[in-house]
Chain A
């Protein structure tokens, strides 16, 4: 959903697993929808880790743990690997996450998050492990993500890091503008390119 980004301060949901693939984020059987119903995808986020075969919540999975909540998901390295399914980003957005923090994202999924106004924040492995420790020690601790300043801060320890985002995407996020809006305004350039290539 298009929404403007500025400063976000929130508690976190920790998922200290590495190589979380998009088949786990949203299993293939939920890809049959023909509409972009974020609530449907959000309800099935991490479906098979979250619910058993009978649809009963699995005790011990973090989304079923009332101690954790907020709009920031904190995940282990190589988050979003595997399938290109944008449904994974729709599920994350649909559940209510606006930021995902990890030390490493898979390429396609990272783009998919950005295109759905979910901000992937890449931090150092040290920052990430300290953050997991802070959340474990106090689930009510908060993280501040300052998009204009491009900083992420663990408010429990005060540790802060700069994160990368290119100026164009930052502008898009802060102004709720997407790539298609941009490309539609480029029609002349596209035709020029085609003409130059095939004189």
Chain B
């Protein structure tokens, strides 16, 4: 009661259905090419239009290649899906940032970057990582395609209100410990289903100290604990980030907006359905050893004795094993989890003055064209190329391997993405989730390495 989650959610309830869900108004819908075509088909078969097209933004990201985007997509099936989004956006009058458009990128990177995701909003997308936008102080969550159709048609969806959870992290994160490590740590403690049924508010001094990029990473991974979404109450860091962004309010509207946003916090009398407290000093650089993101441990730790045998057999690891020094084949920097400027800065900080290890294939994929531009503007592109890395074009890429960036069967990938499920990065691929620092450490040494030894 009287949590920020309650305030935002309750302000968007259009009606209550007796003994049923609530009708929730949605401020922003994002559509990508994979989970929307059937929803647009649904509108056509019902003979209806979008109720509020100005609230809906579309861009392809899952299928887009990360090279030669100026040429047609080679895979005809991927091309058909990307083309379908463009056609649907045109037919229904929606804004569309197509491939090679300077505004294109991963939807969860572009939305905050353009100021489309604002504090106090309700935001949905047919994508579980929509939780990312919670970093702006919004209630943002992933939905299925039928629900995408609901929002296209009515700007509303029917939902049961989730319970609220407070995750408070107090103290200071250590050297070489990033927001990604914090998220992997939380998952390892809470498990992949521990927050199911909840909406999480991240609080405490360690969360407040995170940059917007760090908060976006943390909120992005809320779904991996089972939570529908997670958010951070807006503060000066948020306002500073938003000011001047294309879709952020301007002039007098800005001042009015900030005054309202400052009211968006959980009251002193707020009652959460569940509260958990962690100490930031306990968080180490983390890696995963298994086949769900909750199977994580400190990079210099040992695989727990009771780890699921099916997961270990898939990964080719054994209980009790320490993975430091374990050979790596691929390194992936990118995804809606870690494809932002700060992630490239972190990776470059370790790559600077070093060389990519022989035998490592590295894919460095910015989350958007804007990120790529900034990487070059800050001179990080030169640092990375000098070290033997290539910077690719933006997209979801090897996070889920719907384009041609696939990790081959049996190969080990240290990845800054969000899921290490069986086959996630390509059939038979073996994924070790980690921060950009830990990924860079693996890329320059060729083996799992504690990034703190290279800082």
Residues of A whose CB lies within 8 Å of any CB of B are 17, 19, 21, 23-24, 27-29, 31-36, 48, 53, 77-78, 81-87, 89, 104, 106-108, 111-112, 115-116, 166-169, 178-180, 182-184, 186-187, 189-190, 193-194
Q: Mark B13-46, 1 if CB is under 8 A from A, else 0.
A: 0110111110101000000001101100110001
* A82 x B38 contact (CB < 8 A): no
Interface pick from B147-155, B274-282, B323-331: B147-155
A81, B194: Cα distance in complex, Å: 11
Nearest A residue to B78, CB-CB: A32
**What would 29 A/B residue contacts be, using CB atoms closer than 8 Å?**
A21-B421, A23-B422, A28-B401, A28-B402, A29-B401, A48-B427, A78-B192, A81-B226, A84-B143, A84-B144, A106-B196, A107-B162, A107-B228, A108-B223, A108-B228, A112-B144, A115-B146, A168-B158, A169-B20, A179-B147, A180-B46, A180-B153, A183-B153, A183-B158, A184-B46, A187-B51, A189-B15, A190-B14, A190-B154
Q: What residue in chain B is nearest A17 (Cβ atoms)?
A: B310
Given the interface contacts A32-B77, A53-B427, A168-B21, does A183 sit within 8 Å of B154 by beta carbon? yes
Chain A residues with Cβ below 8 Å from B370 are none
In the complex, what residues of A have CB within 8 A of residue B292's CB?
19, 21, 81
B37, B144, B424: the one within 8 Å of A111 (CB): B144
CB-based contact A183/B23 at 8 Å:
yes
Q: Is the CB of A35 within 8 A of B402?
A: no
Count residues of chain B with CB under 8 A from any CB of chain A: 66
Shortest C-beta distance, B403 to chain A (Å), equals: 10
Contact of A84 among B19, B81, B126, B192 (CB under 8 A): B126
- B20: chain A residues at CB < 8 Å are 166-169
Q: Residues on B close to A: CB < 8 A?
A: 14-15, 17-21, 23, 25, 34-35, 37-38, 41-42, 46, 48, 51, 62-63, 77-78, 80-81, 84, 126-128, 130, 142-147, 149-150, 153-160, 162, 192-193, 196-197, 223, 226, 228, 292, 310, 400-402, 409, 419, 421-424, 427-428
Nearest B-chain residue to A181, judged by Cβ: B46
How far is it, in angstroms, between the C-alpha of A33 and the C-alpha of B424 when the chains are bound? 18
Q: How far is the CA of A48 from the CA of B147 in the complex (A)?
A: 28
Partner of A36, one of B19, B38, B78, B155: B38
A78→B196 contact, CB < 8 A: yes
Contacts of A186 in B (CB 8 A): 14-15, 23, 154, 156
Q: How far is the CA of A94 from the CA of B162 in the complex (A)?
A: 29
